[in-house]
Chains A and B, each alone.
Chain A
Amino acid sequence: MSTDQKPILSLQGVIKRFGGLTAVDQVSFDVPKGEVFALIGPNGAGKTTLFNCITGMHVPTAGRVVFEGRDIAGTKPYRTAQLGIARTFQNIRLFEYMSALDNVKVGEHVRMKAKLWDAIFRTPFARREEREVSERAMEHLRFVGIERHADNYARNLAYGQQRRLEIARALATEPHLLLLDEPAAGFTPQEKVELMRLVDKIISRGITVFLIEHDMRVVMEVSQRIVVLDHGEKIAEGPPAEVRKDQRVIDAYLGKSA
């Protein structure tokens, strides 16, 4: 494990309250660079809320979210995407009435430079960029294995293809850190195996993967390090083998601590 390296993401005492409800309570941990990091916990533990705090969709009530050495707590979502954090959503959120290819091209948006002027007059620069972006977008679709459906409406894709398209769209933003919110939800065992292979491929590109997942087999197999949340608090952290044996984790999942 490359603990000597600086972590890509570091949460320090993050708190998120909604009115009287504390959804995330004093959570701190580091996500090491280049690894698969997993966040698990029972329903309502605050996992997605934590993701939202990282991507700027929520402003943390307190605490620091340090990404590549800078505090990004409270940064607008589009800025965090520009800085290099991409995400997928628990309940798939594609642009339904756009083709799969165009969905991925929206992901490229942040890396494009064409200005309003270029767009209106379709300058040679805009044309060249558009061509390059289309090619790159096709590559991303090929990478996740749905290039055949490039011209289909996003909403007309099958469920598993939609999940893959979301990943392709996120990859198109050229992230350093990819947040996957329950990527295997609703998958068949076969699809889960394919997903794990895809995660390996993403890691081999040098992108750090941080995922929320319910399926323990997927989590144990794919991730190098796990954090467990329960009722908004971190109750365990460590490699899969350790976390699996942790009494508090077992209690949380069996409902004792509730």
Chain B
Amino acid sequence: MIGALARMPSTLRTFGGSQVSNLVGLLIVAGALALTLQHVLQHSASFFFQILIIGIADGTIYGLIALGYTMVYGIIELINFAHGDVFTLGGYFSLALFPIFGIAEGKAGFGYVIPLLVVAAITMLLCGVVNVAIERVAYRPLRHAPRLAPLITAIGMSSILEGAMYLWRGPNSLHYPDLLPLTRFNIGPVNIGVKDLIVITFALVLVVVFTLFINLSKLGKAMRATAQDRDAAQLMGIDINRTISATFFIGAALAGAGGITWGLYISSVDPFLGFITGLIAFTAAVFGGIGNIPGAALGGLLIGLIRAFSDSYFDSSWTEVLIFGILIATLVFRPTGLLGMRVPEK
């Protein structure tokens, strides 16, 4: 059904007025920037930098989640609605693991670095396993079914994961221990927290390592080949099922790491956190260019910044309207996203 759309020759899909619509898009962006600038000038510089740092930290976390959406979409053209919940699961798993490794609030120090990293590694592993299992159970049997079927199971899996966390720890939001140092220091007008720096660094390192992995490793090459043309990749001796499983595993591991980072940064998680966070991260993936890995990271960063600035300089109740407005505008004016690479058609 939707396959019929994909069969259209590409010239039918790229509409004639792309120059015009690019121009309109540019004008909108320029207008938004001007408006922001005007608001920024009304507040102090230190406030600006504070918001900037919050935006960057949020944005790198969105980027971590967006990578999973973009990879899965790139390889099997499915919006994995359960992905946002795998991110929440990262928070829940790590919360359960902390007592086992003797981690508790109020005793922050260098002694926690190793256990925290171990918890992160185990959490990422568990999230990966859950996501691979989801793909096995709910998506793989439907790979040749009508396009809507896996979408419905994805929504079903999302509901199951949310339900499982709800059942496990109840409906209320859980306090996530403050494990990072709360020290802040000034660099010129910029007041920055050690926590901000750790969160940003951790997320950035993961994004960079992961991007290098996709570009350089054999598995990464197999993923890109499968995304380009599944049949051809199979003919070249690539094990499609393993590659898809690996994609789900890595995406979920990154989302799990995102869950921990979120917990450490925001200090709370709840069973339904992944729903709206997932939608926003998905917007980031589309914004950057769905299927495009650096695009997801960039999109995440920009969406994080937009969110932070809209919350503080405008009206937070309109932030999500703005973000989803960006989602629609991106697809209308520039369906290939900011980085403009074309998703291969299958």
Chain A residues proximal to chain B, CB less than 8 Å:
52, 57-59
Smallest CB gap from B7: residue in A = A93
A46–B11 CA distance with the chains assembled, in angstroms: 16
Taking CB atoms, residues of chain B closer than 8 Å to A57 are 9, 11-12
Chain B residues proximal to chain A, CB less than 8 Å:
9, 11-12, 16
How far does the Cβ of B253 sit from chain A's closest Cβ, in whole Å? 39
**Apart from A57-B9, A58-B9, A59-B16, what 5 extra A-B contacts exist at CB < 8 Å?**
A52-B9, A57-B11, A57-B12, A58-B11, A59-B11
How far does the Cβ of A227 sit from chain B's closest Cβ, in whole Å? 23
Smallest CB gap from B1: residue in A = A97
How far does the Cβ of B148 sit from chain A's closest Cβ, in whole Å? 14
A52–B16 CA distance with the chains assembled, in angstroms: 16
A57–B11 CA distance with the chains assembled, in angstroms: 8
Which 8 pairs between the two chains have the least Cβ-Cβ distance? A58-B11, A57-B9, A57-B12, A57-B11, A59-B16, A52-B9, A59-B11, A58-B9
A59–B12 CA distance with the chains assembled, in angstroms: 10
Taking CB atoms, residues of chain A closer than 8 Å to B11 are 57-59
Taking CB atoms, residues of chain A closer than 8 Å to B16 are 59
A59–B17 CA distance with the chains assembled, in angstroms: 13
Smallest CB gap from A91: residue in B = B7
How far does the Cβ of B339 sit from chain A's closest Cβ, in whole Å? 19
Smallest CB gap from A58: residue in B = B11
Can you name 8 A-B pairs with beta carbons within 8 Å?
A52-B9, A57-B9, A57-B11, A57-B12, A58-B9, A58-B11, A59-B11, A59-B16
Taking CB atoms, residues of chain B closer than 8 Å to A58 are 9, 11
A57–B12 CA distance with the chains assembled, in angstroms: 7
Taking CB atoms, residues of chain A closer than 8 Å to B12 are 57
Smallest CB gap from A18: residue in B = B11
A57–B8 CA distance with the chains assembled, in angstroms: 10
How far does the Cβ of B314 sit from chain A's closest Cβ, in whole Å? 42
How far does the Cβ of B16 sit from chain A's closest Cβ, in whole Å? 8
How far does the Cβ of A257 sit from chain B's closest Cβ, in whole Å? 28
Smallest CB gap from B11: residue in A = A58
How far does the Cβ of B180 sit from chain A's closest Cβ, in whole Å? 51
A57–B16 CA distance with the chains assembled, in angstroms: 12
How far does the Cβ of A207 sit from chain B's closest Cβ, in whole Å? 26
How far does the Cβ of A153 sit from chain B's closest Cβ, in whole Å? 15
Taking CB atoms, residues of chain A closer than 8 Å to B9 are 52, 57-58
A52–B9 CA distance with the chains assembled, in angstroms: 10
Taking CB atoms, residues of chain B closer than 8 Å to A59 are 11, 16
A58–B12 CA distance with the chains assembled, in angstroms: 8
Taking CB atoms, residues of chain B closer than 8 Å to A52 are 9
Smallest CB gap from A16: residue in B = B11
How far does the Cβ of A199 sit from chain B's closest Cβ, in whole Å? 27
A58–B10 CA distance with the chains assembled, in angstroms: 10
A245–B12 CA distance with the chains assembled, in angstroms: 39
How far does the Cβ of A167 sit from chain B's closest Cβ, in whole Å? 21
A105–B9 CA distance with the chains assembled, in angstroms: 25
A58–B14 CA distance with the chains assembled, in angstroms: 11
A52–B12 CA distance with the chains assembled, in angstroms: 11
Smallest CB gap from A76: residue in B = B12
How far does the Cβ of B13 sit from chain A's closest Cβ, in whole Å? 12
A58–B9 CA distance with the chains assembled, in angstroms: 9
A58–B11 CA distance with the chains assembled, in angstroms: 7
How far does the Cβ of B327 sit from chain A's closest Cβ, in whole Å? 29
A124–B305 CA distance with the chains assembled, in angstroms: 61
A133–B12 CA distance with the chains assembled, in angstroms: 30
How far does the Cβ of B14 sit from chain A's closest Cβ, in whole Å? 11
